[in-house]
Amino acid sequence: MSQWIDACATDDVDDEDLIAWMHNGRNYAIYNTEKGYFASDLMCTHEEQSLEDGMVIDCVIECPLHGGRFDICTGKALSAPCTTDLVTYPVKVEAGRVFIALD
Ligand code: FES
């Protein structure tokens, strides 16, 4: 059963940006987009590249290594060379904090 984990303050993530967040030895990305806050795995699904330095454009994250893109809301791989979707996690915001639902 998943639990809501307090990950960060809303202010910790700039508009149209992301931060890396580690929990129980796993790395996650937390995004602040025009559509709200979202979370996914931090590693690109193409190669072992962190998305932390990637660019957030609207609700899309662009990998800094080869420019593959993912839909931040759904994790869907949008462009080559990425073909495997990112795993995403439910997010809620309460009292200025960002919570992520994890198993
Ligand atoms: S490692 Fe991300 S697109 Fe290649």
Per the structure, the complete domain to which residue 19 belongs is given by 3-102
Kindly tell me the burial class for residue 61, based on how many C-beta atoms sit within 10 Å of its own C-beta (0-12, 13-18, 19 or more): buried
Residue whose CA is at the smallest distance from ligand 1 atom 4? 66
The CATH number that applies at residue 13 is 2.102.10.10
Strands 55-57 and 97-102, by their bridges, are unpaired
Asked whether 63 lines ligand 1 (CB < 6 A), one says yes
Q: How many domains does the chain have?
A: 1
Mean pLDDT by 10 residues, the chain (103 residues): 96 98 97 97 98 96 98 98 98 98 95
Residue 30 Cα to ligand 1 midpoint, Å, equals 18
Q: pTM for this structure?
A: 0.96
Quote the pLDDT of residue 1.
84
